[in-house]
Structure 1
């Protein structure tokens, strides 16, 4: 309980710090500022991991660092989608920090809920490992199949409903979400962006939580890995905004990682509940495999773009496809 209370307090303090920094003076974030804040948050995550390793033991420490690497790599895909949402809705530079912070806060809340549900399910039914594993394998296959596509608004039923049923202004109204226009209350594009970010976070939580449960069963480690991976997203967004387009094999690499963890989850169930002779993948091996895939993915991407500079990376899609895209009405059509 002490670990939980102290870690939650640190996470909340860092989140408040982020809100204060971003809200005090809305502005465009430059590379230098983004690099400083990114280094700060990564350093905090590493220092926490070292302290946790010393106090809790090498096994728990390895599980934390492996979970952190998994969540950090998946969070880069989050950034891809955030970039797409920002561009689609033409979010002004001065509002982008606020949108990112809302997305991070929403993601943290959703992950806490999914962690609690996942831990309870795994504690009650060991076969949930198989369900999680199959879901990750399915996600990996879909992500690989649609690796050259980007998510569409038509994939998101919540956003589609909001756009089709709620009247909206054509332009942003500062930081306001709802304004009065012609005697009635209408939403602003910022409200729609918040809905897009929050509903997208739900989809990311559905694969990131089972993925980290494939590394450890400890709900605290799952929470800590998620929280520290998400906290630095605001700064990381501005730091690697330009680099994202060059990671042309990122979706392929993430699909390999998700598929690997999915198989690991199924092997864990078979090893513990069917036959101990069935091999079990140690956490140390998982860490090496995941880091190796990320390294190969990054190097291969940069080499590919160097020889084919016209290529651009895509976030990949799990839901929908080219033939499923539904036409969307713009705010001016209402």
Structure 2
């Protein structure tokens, strides 16, 4: 498969990711458990977005965007546009991911000061899963061109399913994954700091924080399966696919804390994401009939997301916002059958 990824570009990108994660871990350990303020979240969100655009500017320059070679300039413009479109789509899907994280944290009443570490683990899992699935997806597309139609149909199906699910109250209590976890491990009724295991009556049992981490891992798998076909609908260049995904995910933790307190204002965003998925799925299905320009995909994505976010401001949610969590493992919240377990 043809890619612009040279050994130098891959090495620089890998070095940047390693440094970014090291800085994040250092800051996390130095600050310890604390509640992230809106100001801190906003600053880091701006930093990550700025770094992403610095990267694409460097990529555009490296590919000859400022040179005299018309072919090199065209390639640089195309790849920069593919990166920005892929980044925007993945960032939008990451927002939906954030809403699921928020639902889990609310349901399990995770203290705000413990959420940073859980999100960091979730981000590492998301990065690893996307890297694996991108390599698999790139190999499958190189070997089997028809897999693009499968990806396209999957995106359309996912978009339609997301549209019908939007606005419906999620039911975590009957979630199969949560029920499976509860059947296979003893869970403490309360948190024990940031520990995943605690001692009760001499027995080592899991804390609710471990359950949240496990569920976030499952969410990572689901969203990775949804998002990878979406980026391949924009470009099949493995370097652009991976870099746009990684840059969209790296700022996920800061964006979570930024959107956590205002998520109800964007209650119509899932409808916009559903439309975007259907559009890019259709683009993939038509790839051998008519190749829709990447610029059109970018314009449509921006327009749909902007309209749905704007409408969210003026159209109040029907239920007044999502319900608060139940903290299912707390002694003061447990039902009789839970206490017997």
TM-score (norm 1): 0.88
2:48 pairs, out of 34, 41, 52, with 41
Equivalent positions of 1:168-179 (< 5 A) are 168-179=187-198
Q: Is the contact made by 1:74 and 1:208 (CA closer than 8 Å) also made in structure 2?
A: yes
Residue matched to 2:304: 293
Unaligned runs of 5+ in 2: 1-6, 64-75, 324-334
Q: Is the contact made by 2:130 and 2:228 (CA closer than 8 Å) also made in structure 1?
A: yes
What per-residue deviation string (whole Å, max 9, x for no partner) do you get for residues 65-119 of structure 1?
A: 0000000000000110010000011101110111111111111111111101111
Distance 1:152 1:113, change over 3 A: farther
Equivalent positions of 1:9-20 (< 5 A) are 9-20=15-26
Alignment partner of 1:282 is 2:293: yes
Query: How far apart, CA to CA, are the structure 2 residues paired with 1:330 and 1:106?
Result: 33
Q: Larger Rg: 1 or 2?
A: 2
Residue matched to 2:326: none
Distance 1:120 1:329, change over 3 A: farther
Alignment partner of 1:3 is 2:29: no
Distance 1:172 1:96, change over 3 A: same
Distance 1:13 1:152, change over 3 A: farther
Distance 1:79 1:333, change over 3 A: farther
Query: How far apart, CA to CA, are the structure 1 residues paired with 2:13 and 2:340?
Result: 47
1:129 pairs, out of 141, 148, 153, with 148
Query: How far apart, CA to CA, are the structure 1 residues paired with 2:118 and 2:194?
Result: 10
Distance 1:99 1:332, change over 3 A: farther
Q: Is the contact made by 2:198 and 2:205 (CA closer than 8 Å) also made in structure 1?
A: yes
Q: 1:59: how far off?
A: 0.8
Q: 1:157: how far off?
A: 3.7
What per-residue deviation string (whole Å, max 9, x for no partner) do you get for residues 34-63 of structure 1?
A: 111111111000110111122231111110
Distance 1:120 1:190, change over 3 A: same
Query: How far apart, CA to CA, are the structure 2 residues paired with 1:152 and 1:172?
Result: 23
Q: Is the contact made by 1:249 and 1:313 (CA closer than 8 Å) also made in structure 2?
A: no
Q: Is the contact made by 1:37 and 1:235 (CA closer than 8 Å) also made in structure 2?
A: yes
Larger CA deviation: 154-163 vs 106-115: 154-163
Residue matched to 1:275: none
Distance 1:330 1:238, change over 3 A: farther
Distance 1:223 1:155, change over 3 A: farther
Query: How far apart, CA to CA, are the structure 2 residues paired with 1:330 and 1:124?
Result: 52
Larger CA deviation: 114-123 vs 145-154: 145-154
Distance 1:146 1:3, change over 3 A: same
Give the number of aligned pairs: 311
SS, match of residue 198 in structure 2? strand
TM-score (norm 2): 0.87
Alignment partner of 1:312 is 2:321: yes
Equivalent positions of 1:140-155 (< 5 A) are 140-153=159-172
Equivalent positions of 1:7-156 (< 5 A) are 7-25=13-31, 26-56=33-63, 57-153=76-172
Q: Is the contact made by 1:23 and 1:98 (CA closer than 8 Å) also made in structure 2?
A: no
Q: 1:23: how far off?
A: 2.5
Larger CA deviation: 13-22 vs 200-209: 13-22
